């Protein structure tokens, strides 16, 4: 299969009109019933989980935000690791939140207008959710806004250099490494990235990148 690059900063194929926003919301509301493609649990050994937990570090009784949590599968594991912490699972689709564990704080909202005060979290992460934001610059700014100075941020998403490898909805965007770093650097004191695989002992194929930042 031939891959091609589609840098989001150079060519926007979609704009977030009210109709498109409604379509995205409806898509995820309807998808909540699809456990095969939108599972409510995840294997804790998957390297994505380790990357998030390692970068967040010891958050003690702090507050962590899962941005675009889906059914809260990552949030559940963060809460298990840090039982004294408040882990907020936030998603656009209310039907997705219905599957999240009761020991999570749940909130419905858009990542373009996060319903939280500035600096109200010690850390935040977005796992394959930023790709659905359409207005990527605004979404990154919002994630950084709600994290306090010195707090940690993780974004795990797909590499635009591999665009075409998977079937995607027409609004989805993948990211080039340096482009997303540039957006994070506008708000963060430190930004780094690395290619990751689903399993720690498997060489990354370049599809997934993890961006790690300190606010």
pLDDT tens digits for range 165-181: 899 999 999 999 999 99
**Beta-carbon neighbour count of residue 56 at 10 Å?**
23
DSSP-derived secondary structure letter, 91: E
d(CA 173, CA 54): 26
d(CA 130, CA 63): 20
pLDDT tens digits for range 37-95: 999 999 999 999 999 999 999 999 999 999 999 999 999 999 999 999 999 999 999 99
pLDDT tens digits for range 84-117: 999 999 999 999 999 999 999 999 999 999 999 9
Residue 207 has pLDDT above 60, yes or no: yes
CA torsion angle 181 16 31 212 (round to 10): 10
Per-residue CA distances from 56 to 20, 66, 154 (Å): 33, 12, 8
- Give the containing element (helix H, strand E) for 78: helix 73-81
pTM higher than 0.85, yes or no? Answer: yes
Query: Sign of dihedral through CA atoms 35, 39, 43, 48?
Result: positive
Binned at pLDDT 50, 70 and 90, residue 1 comes out as very low
| Domains along the chain with CATH numbers | 41-214 (3.40.50.150)
Q: How many CA atoms lie within 13 A of 99 on its CB side?
A: 21
Can you list the positions of beta strands (E) in the chain?
63-67, 86-91, 105-108, 121-127, 147-158, 190-196, 208-214
Binned at pLDDT 50, 70 and 90, residue 29 comes out as very high
Binned at pLDDT 50, 70 and 90, residue 14 comes out as low
Task: Identify the three-state secondary structure at position 75.
Answer: helix
């Amino acid at each position: 299969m031939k891959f091609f690059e589609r840098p989001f900063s150079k060519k926007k194929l979609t704009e977030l009109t009210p109709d498109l926003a409604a379509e995205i919301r409806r898509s995820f509301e309807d998808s909540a019933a699809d456990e095969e493609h939108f599972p409510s649990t995840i294997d804790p050994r998957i390297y994505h989980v380790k990357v998030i937990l390692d970068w967040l570090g010891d958050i003690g009784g702090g507050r962590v935000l899962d941005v675009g949590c889906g059914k809260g599968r990552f949030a559940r594991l963060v809460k298990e690791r840090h039982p004294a912490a408040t882990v907020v699972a936030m998603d656009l689709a209310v039907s997705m939140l219905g599957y999240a564990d009761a020991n999570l704080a749940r909130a419905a909202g858009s990542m373009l207008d996060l319903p939280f005060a500035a600096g109200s979290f010690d850390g935040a992460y977005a796992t394959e959710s930023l790709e659905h934001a359409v207005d990527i610059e605004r979404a990154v700014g919002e994630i950084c806004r709600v994290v306090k100075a010195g707090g940690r941020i993780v974004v795990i998403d797909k590499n635009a250099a591999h665009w075409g490898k998977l079937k995607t909805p027409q609004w989805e965007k993948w990211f080039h490494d340096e482009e997303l770093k540039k957006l994070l650097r506008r708000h963060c004191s430190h930004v780094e990235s690395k290619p990751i695989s689903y399993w720690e002992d498997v060489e990354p194929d370049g599809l997934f990148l993890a961006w790690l930042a300190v606010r």
